[in-house]
Amino acid sequence: AQRVTQPEKLLSVFKGAPVELKCNYSYSGSPELFWYVQYSRQRLQLLLRHISRESIKGFTADLNKGETSFHLKKPFAQEEDSAMYYCALSDRGSTLGRLYFGRGTQLTVWP
């Protein structure tokens, strides 16, 4: 079974502080990991996928297979980063249609 765990429901930091949103997964196959962001009253948007190794809006995430983690990090948080963040896992094998989400972390960046 695939499982994605985001241990923090809420996370608050001050502007300019570093931020790390945790994501752990449980999967025996070859997963593909994503981070999605949902700003207030908007649709989910793809923020990062692990295989592209991009940095989007200053965010990065590294897949750590040993720790089965895919934490999202940003060195200097901005107020506009306040949003709900979801970690998601997809099986690139037989179930390409399935994308499993964690329960999300609500990030608030205070001025």
Partner 1 sequence: EAQVTQNPRYLITVTGKKLTVTCSQNMNHEYMSWYRQDPGLGLRQIYYSMNVEVTDKGDVPEGYKVSRKEKRNFPLILESPSPNQTSLYFCASSSGFDGYTFGSGTRLTVV
Q: Footprint of partner 1 on this chain (CB under 8 A)?
A: 6, 9, 34, 36, 42-46, 49, 86, 88, 90, 96-104
Select 77 or 104, whichever has its Cβ closest to partner 1: 104
Q: How far is the CB of 90 from partner 1 (least distance, A)?
A: 7
Q: How far is the CB of 68 from partner 1 (least distance, A)?
A: 19
Contact 87, 76 (CB under 8 A): no
Main-chain phi, psi angles of 5, to 5 degrees: -120, 125
Select 26 or 45, whichever has its Cβ closest to partner 1: 45
How many other C-beta atoms can be found within 10 angstroms of the C-beta atom of residue 21? 24
Contact 104, 9 (CB under 8 A): yes
